[in-house]
Chain A
C-alpha cells in the first residue's frame, strides 16, 4: 500500500534557527496537505498543495510540492517557541480516492 515517510523523525533547534521537514511518498500524489499537532492536541490544517512544483508561503513557513508530485517539504524560517509540535504531511494518492495517508511526522522542539 501507499507509504508516506518523513525525515527527520525528530528535530531540536535553537530558537531563531531554521527548520525543514521532508515528506516522501511511495506513489504519485494528486495533492498533499500539511498539518501541525501541538503536544496533547489534535492536528490542525496548515495548507494544501496541488500543482507540480507548487510553492506556497505562510509568513515564516514555506511549503513545496515536488515536480514529480511524490515529495514535499516544509521550511520554517527563524523558528519561535510557538512552532513546537509535530508536523505531518498527508497525501491523497488518486483523484476520486478520498483517503489521505499521513506521513510519519517530524517532531520539532525548540531550545530557547
Chain B
C-alpha cells in the first residue's frame, strides 16, 4: 500500500518554542491531507484538513494561529505548533488521501512533549 512518512517521530521542546512536523506521501500524490491529535487511549480528533495549494480548513475549537498548516506540494504537508505549552503535549498523526478519495494512509505519528 501507499506510504506516508511523518517526521520527527518524537520531539521534546521547551515551553514557548515552535515545533514543525512534516508529513510526506512517498509514492503517491496526496490531494488531501488531514492532521489529527490523539490523547492516550483516546480516539483521533481531527484538527484540520488541508488541500494542496489552498488554506487549511480547521475544525471548531482548533486555533489556526496556534497550529499552522502548510500544504505546499502534493507530497508534503507541515504542521507547526507555535509557542508550544505543556498542554500541547500529545500524539499528532497525519493522514493522506489520493485523488480516488478512498482509504486514508496514516503517518507513523509524532509524539510531542513540551516541558
Interface residues of A (CB under 8 A from B): 1, 33, 35, 41-45, 48, 88, 90, 98-105, 107
Contacts and interface: CB of A to CB of B under 8 A. Distances in A.
Interface size class of B (residues with CB under 8 A): 20 to 34
A92 to B, nearest CB: 9
Classify the secondary structure of A's interface with B.
strand
B44 interface: yes
Residue among B43, B106, B109 with the highest chain A CB neighbour number at 10 A: B43
B104 interface: yes
Contact of A45 (B34, B36, B45, B103): B103
Contact of A44 (B34, B42, B102, B106): B106
7 contacts: A35-B104, A41-B108, A42-B109, A43-B95, A43-B104, A102-B46, A103-B43
Contacts of A102: 36, 43-46
A104 B1 CA distance: 25
B43 A88 contact: yes
Contacts of B49: 98-99
Contact of B104 (A1, A33, A105, A107): A33
Contact of B103 (A33, A42, A99): A33
Interface of B: 1, 32, 34, 36, 41-46, 49, 60, 93, 95, 97, 101-109
Contacts of A45: 1, 103-105
Nearest to A42: B106
A74 to B, nearest CB: 15
Nearest to B102: A48
A55 to B, nearest CB: 19
Nearest to A44: B106
Contact of A107 (B41, B97, B105, B107): B41
A41 B102 CA distance: 21
A104 B108 contact: no
Contacts of A43: 44, 93, 95, 104, 106
B32 A98 contact: yes
